[in-house]
Amino acid sequence: MPGKDTLGRGYIHIYTGDGKGKTTAALGLALRAAGSGLKTAIVQFMKGQYYGELDSVKMLSPYVTIEQFGTPAFLTLKDEPDPGDVERAALAMQRIHELMETHYCNILVADEILTAMNFHLLREDDIIRLMDTRPDGMELVLTGRGVTPRLIDRADLVTEMREVKHYYREGVIARKGIEM
């Protein structure tokens, strides 16, 4: 793994909450790591639409990579998930395991994995297994809404983004370069 000794044993981070900034925090970590010569792989669950980070990451290549496993449409929470969405989440999980097994990176970000669990695309046990199989020396970052107590117990660092005020409530739509 690139720069394995740099991170010691590696830790598990969770960025969660109803506030804005979970993915942004993970991207900030990737930016900082790239500046230190560390490699970050970002696997995005439920995202297939354009976000500005897709172009930014190209500029940080080969230090930061990003792969999306979603569709351009936003998903809505419903009783039974669409089988295609479940399949895409399984492919994202498979890709994460491949990246861990090959020691491809120093930092592995599973973006919106917690949201995928809450949309019933994954099970909590799938995420626990992922946390338990993380190789030493690799930092693992999980983002999304709806963390569970079991996941909090397994993590080393948990940050909750809490919305205090957001202009979205005033009718402001997502803006290019800020929210997308």
Query: What pLDDT is attached to residue 170?
Result: 85
Name the band, by pLDDT with cuts 50, 70 and 90, for residue 6.
confident
Structural domains in the chain, CATH included, are 4-170 (3.40.50.300)
Please list, in sequence order, all residues whose beta carbon lies within 8 angstroms of the beta carbon of residue 31, skipping any fewer than 6 positions away: 60, 64
Q: Reply yes or no on whether the pLDDT at 134 is more than 80.
A: yes
Q: Reply yes or no on whether the pLDDT at 2 is more than 70.
A: no
Query: What pLDDT is attached to residue 52?
Result: 87
Is the entire prediction scored with pTM above 0.85?
yes
Query: What pLDDT is attached to residue 1?
Result: 58
pLDDT tens-digit map of 139-171: 999 999 999 999 999 999 999 999 888 888 888
Name the band, by pLDDT with cuts 50, 70 and 90, for residue 116.
very high
Query: What pLDDT is attached to residue 48?
Result: 87
Q: How many residues does the chain have?
A: 180
Ordered DSSP codes for 24-53: HHHHHHHHHHHHTT--EEEEEES--S--HH
Q: How many Å is the Cα radius of gyration of the chain?
A: 16
pLDDT tens-digit map of 95-107: 999 999 999 999 9
Q: Is 20 helix (H, G, I), strand (E, B) or coil?
A: coil
pLDDT tens-digit map of 44-95: 999 988 888 899 999 999 999 999 999 887 777 777 888 999 999 999 999 9
Query: 172 versus 157: which is more confidently predicted?
Result: 157
Query: What pLDDT is attached to residue 75?
Result: 72
Query: What pLDDT is attached to residue 99?
Result: 98
127, two tokens: 């995420």
Q: Which of 34, 14, 32 is nearest to 22 (CA)?
A: 14
pLDDT tens-digit map of 9-28: 999 999 999 999 999 999 99
